[in-house]
Every structure is written in structure tokens, then in C-alpha cells.
Structure 1
Amino acid sequence: MTFRATVLTLYPDMFPGPLGTSLAGRALEEGKWSLEARNIRDHAQDKHRTVDDTPAGGGAGMVLKCDVLGRAIDAVADERPIFAMTPRGEPLTQGLVREVSSGEGAVILCGRFEGFDERIFEARPVRPVSVGDYILSGGEIPAMLFLDACVRLLPGVMGAASSGEDESFETGLLEYPHYTRPVEWEGRTIPEVLRSGDHARIARWRHERSCEDTRLRRPDLWDAHGERSGPSPSGARRRK
């Protein structure tokens, strides 16, 4: 089954963009997934191909029209889930990525201007998703982030099936730090434990560093991990 991605955007020429290179690009060439970018403006029905209008109630900017969006979605809707990239959405997580990558694909709606007429979320099964607490010019780059995260989990895309198992967020923790040759660089040496050949020690060290880095850098993840896992492992005491 080929993973099919359809992006609804005002700027279809932005695609595939980075998705046409590296792992995602090679998988695209090999037919492991497909990508179609469709112009929302094609579904406007006036002579000016209008896709936006002023906000009801006043205010700055413009809002994408629900009637145009509805027709754009209806033209591609099938069994695939539909997402809208918006800072008002739920956070994009590795769990959601795994959920989507295990299915038939996705339809992704890219916002622009002040965003979407809210009625599109009431009238169509559109799930709003955010890639972070910041504002971009549009939803195209977030859509690329979403799809890149999904594509790399498709069968045969990464070199080994286990390549993603220890990565950040897969276990609720940040990934442990990595090192490679040279052993010494500018007076800094690869930790001795990683050169010991003792796989049990290495596994313990990696887990402890994952815990410590998560606690220090992402206390929100650390607290959630503690709630799921019970008492914290030794060497990584929880702090409030």
C-alpha cells in the first residue's frame, strides 16, 4: 500500500521542496509514497478567484473562506484523515506521526493570512495540528515537517527497521547524546563508557543520560514520563 499525501495550498510550487531530497525524496522516487499539491484557489468561483475575506467583527488581516475550503476538501476527500496546519491546533507529536504513517496517507490543509473560517472545522472532519508555539507565514513548512516525520517511518524508508526506536520522543524521553571518531577533539574525549565494549554499561549510561537531559531540557516531558513510569530511575532525580 502506497502512502498518499495530498496538500491543499495556495502555493503548490513549494512542493515537494525538501521532501524531494534525502530519505523522503528517494522514497518518493521509489514509489513508497506519493505527493500531490493542489491549489486551493482552483476552487474559488468568482472571476477574481477570491479565497479570502475580511474578518467578521473587524480586525487586521484576511481569513480563508469556508466555502472555498469546503470545495477544495470535497474534491480530494476519501478515507484518509484530514489535517489543517494552524497554531491553534493540537501539538504534533511522535504518537500522532506513528498513527498517520501506519495508515493510507493524509490530506493536509495549509493555512495563510489570519487562518481558517472556523466553520470548516464544524462542517468537515478536519483535525487542526500545530508544529509549535510560534507563528509562520503559512502552513506549507509545517506540512513538510509533518510529512517528513511520517515518511521516514514507512516500511523500507530507513535503512533498518529499528533505526527509529531509540530516537527522541519514541519512549517519552529525549534521545541520549551521540559521539563518533576522532576519539579526542580539541581536548574533548568520547566518554570512556562508550569505548568500553560493555554493552550493559553503555545501555545504562544511555538511559541515564536520556533521563537527565529530558529532566533538564524538557521538564514537561519528564513530568509526563514520570507519571507513566512511576518512580524515577537512579541518577535522575525529579525536581519540581
Structure 2
Amino acid sequence: MLSNAPFAVECGRAIASVRSKVERVVCVSNPSDLMGLILLVHSGLEPERVMSLSSLDTERFRRSLSRRLGVSMAEMSQVFTLGSHDGAMAPMLDMARVKGASLGQLGIDPEEETEIVREVKYAGISIYKLRGQTAYQSPAVHVLRMLMATDDMPFVIPTARYHHSQCYPYTFGSLPTCIDSSGCHHLSVECTERELVALNGAFASIENMKQQLIEAGYLPEPCEWQSHLQQREELVELI
């Protein structure tokens, strides 16, 4: 993380110099949540114009269920991975529906749920070990769709962007979103108790890394940049 941070700061400042010409920015560098926050703070862009690639985690969750259940991803709804883009990410097991049925109704027991979560969390590492390199093709497709999203063709896979609420103050993480012609916007999310525990853990991981970046000097304290973002923030309802 600390090795990528200087480049994110430099990139954010470069964007600030041409801010009026920038429509939206998608951060791919890892950890994408924190690098996205650095870009946002140093660029001075509005929160809806800066987002990070976290949709691959949701894609892996959907592909895991598709393979195990023998169904197409088109038959799924609310299959989301939220929070952080690291080992603390939170696949929303109770929210997921396949042909309208919950995972429990489809016969997936707690042991298999644990295996699905492990598979989703560490899929990126597995790909790296298999190929000897990162799977750059998949991010490229998602980034293109995010950059080209419009009102007519919105991108509705959960995306990481700036978030501030009582639960998760001054942070940057993945929640249900919609990217349209005007940028990335939060949607409301309804969680079960165990999903909220997982989501809290994911955002705690982001907060820990954020504090490391502040201590290292790559991010200022929130009091130095929160006023600009508070004017434009979109609060997401956590139930």
C-alpha cells in the first residue's frame, strides 16, 4: 500500500491541474479503496466523479454461485460483495437470491458458504499464482464499462466511492451504487445482522489502512478535507 501511495498522490495532483476537463476517474491500483481516497482528496474532484474498481469481487461471487448451482448470472439478484477490496471483503450471503430463492433455500449449508467466501476473497491471489501475473483483462473490461456508463446504460455492480455516515465516517469503500451520466451514486442497502458484522469488519480494515496513510503523510487528517466533500456527499441508508 505505502509503495503505491506516492503515485496516487502525484496522480491526484496532476488531475487537480486539469480538474475542469475530467469527467470521471476509475482507480485500479491496489488497495483500490485507499488509492481512490487519495486520488479524491488530492484531485479536488466531486465524490461522484472518483471511484475504484471493486466490481471484480462481486463478479467472482456471482461466478462461484453460477458454477456451483449450474445457473446463469442473469438468474441472480442482489449477489453483492461489499466493503473493502482485500481479505476482509464482505460477500452478502443472506442478501443473495438465485431465481428468487435464498442460498439456504437452494441447499447451500454453512460449510459451503464458508468455502464460497474463501473462494471469493482469495480468487485474485489464486489467479496470480496460476498465471504468474495479474488478470489485467478483467479489470480492463469493467473499467471501460464504468467509464462509458450513461443514463441509458448504467453500471449497477457495487462500486467503491467516497462514503461518510455515522457508521463509516470519511471513508471510501464498496456499497451498492449506480454509475450513470452524472457519475457514481449510492443506493440504499438492507443487511441482516451477520452481514452487517461482516461489513463492519470490511470497513474497519479500510479505516486501519486509512490511518496508516495519514500517519505516513499521504493523506491529511479528515478535518482538512471533509468540508469540501460534505457539501457533495450522498448518505447511504444502512438498515
> The TM-score by the shorter chain falls in which range?
under 0.3
Greater RCO (Cα-Cα under 8 Å, separation 6 or more): 2
Normalization by structure 1: what TM-score? 0.23
Normalization by structure 2: what TM-score? 0.23
Q: Which has the larger radius of gyration?
A: 1
Which protein is richer in strand relative to its size?
1
